[in-house]
Structure 1
């Protein structure tokens, strides 16, 4: 598995996001505990009275989260074993101003990852078993580019908590966060949607317009071959 901890700063941010997720759950009245013999460090048991759920806490420093596929036929590592995904993410990869915590029903998350896997497979992408499939939290779901199929969980599930990073830092945390997450800084220099998707002209125009701060109609692309 890829080591996504990276630099000491990235590791501290990752642990801070994880701690922010736990603190958010506790403030919402959930008791948070490790799962005995649960294996993955991201797994937690949350309880409130007689209500109990298994959750997987995912952190992201680029607003995309991942789960690895079990096999070509079906199934997701960790995701199949939980009731909720708790996603703790910054709002922007390059200029994060907020940290947000979302609680996403695992049934919906599984359906989205299934759609994403099927769409990318149909598009001819190479999808090695055990490697994470990434979904964007804050891009709207779309069929084009294909990497946006299944996206938008952070839009559809309002954050339980938002931390203003321009005023407050992430809490300090020393929780172990296992590398199986594959969610942080997936490709240090290349965003996931650029790695996994075939780049279309409309998508290239959208990204250039966003980068340059101009309307898409101002972008013209000429291909000479």
Structure 2
């Protein structure tokens, strides 16, 4: 089954989902204005009822979001200086049909990231400074260090849902123009989802390396701690 977000390519799918986030905010009564000069850091001003708040926009196709820790987890890049986190999340990784939009208080997002960071460190995991650390939007298993802090989407229901068909045909010109003005910056690599995690492999070693990296991402453990045994029976 075709994955529509994957098939349209990284840049096009990113722009589509950022557009969904902005259209969702507008649907919820916010006026949205992108802060210039921030590239894929993607920071917007959201105004509602005369109150303007700064929002960090995140997109996710697998319903995990990332922020990079700084100074041993005492600060969070692109999170500490905002009041809101605006997220566009695909409804399904393998077969996305819709994009859900959420608005989270940044303070609560920080609390969850702090808890996740502490759980990983307390369990001997390595968390790199200035490199994205992932937390799950949906409910997780709190006994797994990498899933501590999960579930913010359970506490804050989505403010909007758009089908991919809607997004491809009904994005307003103003939103499309503002999103297209975003240009990649080096810091974005640690903050935004990377290339699709199902590459084409040319050897068994590549498969095992990818599997170890995925297990580490989901468990919050270092790849050095992941050992896989392969048995092939003819």
Global fold match (TM > 0.5): yes
Normalising by the residue count of structure 2, what TM-score does the alignment of the two structures yield? 0.72
How far apart, CA to CA, are the structure 1 residues paired with 2:30 and 2:22? Answer: 9
User: Unaligned 5+ residue runs, structure 2?
Assistant: 1-5, 199-209, 222-234
Secondary structure at 2:53 match in 1: strand
Where is the helix percentage greater, Structure 1 or Structure 2? 2
Alpha-carbon shift at residue 182 of structure 1 (Å): 2.7
User: Unaligned 5+ residue runs, structure 1?
Assistant: 1-5, 200-225
Q: Is the 8 A contact 2:64 2:136 kept in 1?
A: yes
Deviations 1:10-65 (A, max 9, x none): 21111101011111212222221133566764111111242110100101122110
Task: Give the match for residue 126 of structure 2.
Answer: 126
Give the 5 Å matches for 1:71-110. 71-72=71-72, 74-110=74-110
Deviations 1:159-210 (A, max 9, x none): 1101133x534446524165256332477235886223179xxxxxxxxxxx
Q: 1:8 to 1:164 in 2, by over 3 A?
A: closer
How far apart, CA to CA, are the structure 2 residues paired with 1:73 and 1:25? Answer: 30
Pairs aligned (count): 192
Normalising by the residue count of structure 1, what TM-score does the alignment of the two structures yield? 0.75
- The reply to whether residue 150 of structure 1 matches residue 159 of structure 2 is no
Deviations 1:120-174 (A, max 9, x none): 1111111110111101112x14322221101112222111101133x53444652
Deviations 1:95-117 (A, max 9, x none): 11220000000111000000000
Compute the RMSD of aligned alpha carbons: 2.7
Task: Give the match for residue 163 of structure 2.
Answer: 164
- The reply to whether residue 176 of structure 1 matches residue 197 of structure 2 is no
Q: 1:136 to 1:69 in 2, by over 3 A?
A: same
